[in-house]
Amino acid sequence: MTADVGGAAGNAGRGPPEARWRSALRGAAVAALVTAPAIAVVGCSAAYLQNAARWFAAVESSTLMVYGGPGDTTYLGCLNCLESAPESVLNPLGPYGSHHSPTSISNPSGSFGSLGSPFSACNPFATDPPIIVDDQGYSYGWLTLDPSRAADPSADAVQRWIDRLCARAG
């Protein structure tokens, strides 16, 4: 796959960061859909294909939101908003992207970005990591380093991004 959230491949150096982010998410979903027939032949489930289609549709038309904490009641930001949007998890000046905000998965000492919190995206053993949902309430999986609970497999770009984000936290 050529899409890369960090810009190392695909759209490297082209366009603002938010355009590269959206392009990477679209690229991951499109790649999953394009390769789906070949994967299906070797045993990919219909659920995988449906989820890949949902990711693609959500990236194009829905707001993907992150919630965490006990009962997933703490809003942690928008996953596919423009980087400059106040609610974006990519906005380093906003409450959901700052390395200092208690509601940010980018805060390495906070509940949602530390290596030890049970609510952290960066704790591979977290018992209750942040969840990704769209504005219709559909769940897209968890934002976590735990591969058994990670976001939908078709969201490869999201998983690479959280892997890099959490590597900086350590």
Q: CA–CA separation, 11 vs 25, rounded Å?
A: 12
Give the CA angle between residues 107, 88, 152 to the nearest 5°: 85
* Sites in the chain below the pLDDT cut of 50: 1-44
Contact 29, 55 (CB under 8 A): yes
Q: CA–CA separation, 49 vs 162, rounded Å?
A: 23
Domain extents for the chain? Answer: 17-169
Return the half-sphere exposure (C-beta side, CA atoms, 13 A cut-off) of residue 158. Answer: 29
Instruction: Answer yes or no: pTM beyond 0.75.
Output: no
Res 10: pLDDT: 33
Res 52: pLDDT: 59
DSSP label of 142: E
Contact 146, 126 (CB under 8 A): yes
* Residue percentage of the chain with pLDDT more than 90: 35
Task: Report pLDDT digits (tens) over 47-56.
Answer: 555 665 665 5
Contact 108, 126 (CB under 8 A): no
**Count of other CB atoms within 10 angstroms of residue 85:** 18
Res 98: pLDDT: 94
